[in-house]
Amino acid sequence: MENRPTKDNKQTQEKLKLLGDRIPVVTECNVKFAQHESYFKYMIYDGYRPLNLAHARDYVDFLVRPLRDNLGDDLQPEYTPQHILDYLGQDIKTKLPGYIDEDKILTFDQNFECGNLDSAYLHGAHEYNLVMKVDTNTRGNTYWFMFKVSDFVVGQKYKFNIMNFSRNMDKFYNCGMGPVTRREKKASSSTPSEASDQGAADHEN
């Protein structure tokens, strides 16, 4: 099969982008926030939600470009669409309870390939309620999770409650399966400071 000229490919991409602006993307998380306000009172992380297909394509490119083009981990504003820059620059101003030490709150992230954390909410000094993104092109499937946390204290126990699983997970975690975690070290420190989780300590259905 012959490769099409770069010019034709660029024109095709432009047409797809134009059409993508007209195709909305639904980001429903199967959570009735208003009926369970106490679980979602203190938001500390709010994930990116594309408004349309063009934004979704931009976001995927934003995630894979650093590896594809060997750009490193630093943000490249010249390659990043404005709607993503606006998202990255947002400041969540949640007023937390007085007994919470804000310097000890975990930092969450899902801005990497396969990350699917929609939002995170403080529910205790070391407890967090998490909402996962619904799988694309499904009627609400939510039964896996991939996210990153940093600024944790080694040895401290944390509890993560995943609030919107679409099926009972007992058959998985009570039959030999378990969460998968990985710790990474900062380049300038020998102390582990980040963990990418394909799992969490606890879950709720």
| Tens of pLDDT, residues 5-21 | 566 777 877 777 778 88
Q: Average pLDDT in the 177-185 region?
A: 81
Give the predicted TM-score (pTM) of the model.
0.80
| Tens of pLDDT, residues 33-70 | 888 999 999 999 999 999 888 898 899 989 988 777 77
Flag whether 6 is in a domain: no
Task: Name residue 147's beta-bridge partners.
Answer: 197
Backbone dihedral angles phi then psi of residue 150, each to the nearest 5 degrees: -140, 175
Which two tokens mark 126? Answer: 């070391």
Flag whether 162 is in a domain: yes
Flag whether 4 is in a domain: no
Split into its structural domains, the chain has a count of 1
Q: Average pLDDT in the 117-146 region?
A: 88
Region for residue 80 given its phi and psi (left: phi exceeds 0; alpha: psi -120 to 50; beta: otherwise)? beta
Q: What is the pLDDT of residue 25?
A: 81
Flag whether 14 is in a domain: no
| Tens of pLDDT, residues 83-130 | 999 999 999 999 999 999 999 999 999 998 889 999 999 999 999 999
Q: What is the pLDDT of residue 47?
A: 94
User: 72 Cβ partners below 8 Å, 6+ apart?
Assistant: 66
- Give the chain as a DSSP string: -PPPPHHHHHHHHHHHHHHHTTSB-----S--GGGGGGGGSEEEEE----SBHHHHHHHHHHHHHHHHTT--SS--GGGS-HHHHHHHT--------TT--GGG--EEE--STT--EEEEEEEETTEEEEEEPPPTTSSS------EEEESPPTT---EEEE---SS--HHHHTTT---EEEEEE-TT-SSEEEEEEES-S----
Flag whether 7 is in a domain: no
Flag whether 111 is in a domain: yes
Residue 193 belongs to domain spanning: 19-198
